[in-house]
Structure 1
Amino acid sequence: MAPQNGGQPATSEDNLTITTFSQSSRDMHVRVEKPEAGYLCSLSMCARVPLPPDELYDLLISPTDCMRIFKTLKQVNHRRVLSEDSQGNRTVEVDQTGTWRFLMFRGSFTVRMVVEQRRADRTISFRLARPGFMRDFSGTWCVRPFDNASLDALVNKHTPSPLHRLQSSLRAVEQSLGLGATQAESLVVLQQSIAPALAPPPALAKMLQRIAAKQITRIMSDLTEEVDRINSSRSGSSSASSSTAAALPPSAGGDASAATQQHTLSRREKREQQRQAAAAAAEQALEDKKRLAAHVTELR
Structure 2
Amino acid sequence: MISGPWCSSAVGSLVQFHLNLQNCLKAHLRKVVKNKQKFDARSPLTPVDRESPIALDADFHKQLEAWKENSFWVDQPPEIKVSVPKGSLCNLNVNFKVGLPPDAIYNIVTDPENKRVFKNIKEVISRKVLIDEGLRQVVEVEQAAIWRFLWWSGTISVHVIVDQNRKDHTVKFKQGKSGFMKRFEGCWKVEPLFVDEHLCQPFKPKTWDNYNTCTQGKGRVGSIVSLDQLIQPSLVPPPPISWYLRGITTRTTEMLISDLLAEAARLRDAVSGSGAEARKELETDERENAPNSSYTPDDIKKRWQQRRDRRHKNRRCLPVH
Structure 2 unmatched ranges of 5 or more: 1-74, 196-203, 213-218, 277-321
Instruction: Give the aligned partner of residue 115 of structure 1.
Output: 162
1:206-221 equivalence runs, <5 A: 206-221=243-258
The answer to whether the Cα contact below 8 Å between 1:127 and 1:138 also exists between their aligned partners in 2 is: yes
Secondary structure of residue in 1 paired with 2:240: helix
The answer to whether the Cα contact below 8 Å between 2:269 and 2:275 also exists between their aligned partners in 1 is: no
1:137-286 equivalence runs, <5 A: 137-147=184-194, 171=206, 174=207, 178-181=209-212, 183-237=220-274
Q: Partner amino acid for 2:116?
A: R
Displacement of 1:55 in angstroms is 1.2
Counterpart CA distance in 1 for 2:275 and 2:90 is: 45
Counterpart CA distance in 2 for 1:89 and 1:183 is: 26
Q: Partner amino acid for 2:230?
A: S
* Corresponding residue to 1:83 among 123, 131, 142: 131
Instruction: Give the aligned partner of residue 28 of structure 1.
Output: 78
Instruction: Give the aligned partner of residue 71 of structure 1.
Output: 119
Structure scoring higher RCO (CA < 8 A, sep ≥ 6) equals: 2
TM-score by length of 1: 0.59
Counterpart CA distance in 2 for 1:79 and 1:209 is: 28
* CA offsets 1:122-169 (integer angstroms, 9 cap, x no match): 000000012201111100000111249xxxxxxxxxxxxxxxxxx9xx
Counterpart CA distance in 2 for 1:237 and 1:212 is: 35
Structure 1 unmatched ranges of 5 or more: 1-24, 149-166, 240-300
* CA offsets 1:86-121 (integer angstroms, 9 cap, x no match): 3x1110000011000001100110011000001111
* Corresponding residue to 2:98 among 49, 52, 77: 49
* CA offsets 1:263-291 (integer angstroms, 9 cap, x no match): xxxxxxxxxxxxxxxxxxxxxxxxxxxxx
Secondary structure of residue in 2 paired with 1:219: helix
Counterpart CA distance in 1 for 2:141 and 2:76 is: 33
Amino-acid identity (%): 34
The answer to whether the Cα contact below 8 Å between 1:53 and 1:183 also exists between their aligned partners in 2 is: no
* Corresponding residue to 1:134 among 154, 176, 181: 181
The answer to whether the Cα contact below 8 Å between 2:140 and 2:159 also exists between their aligned partners in 1 is: yes
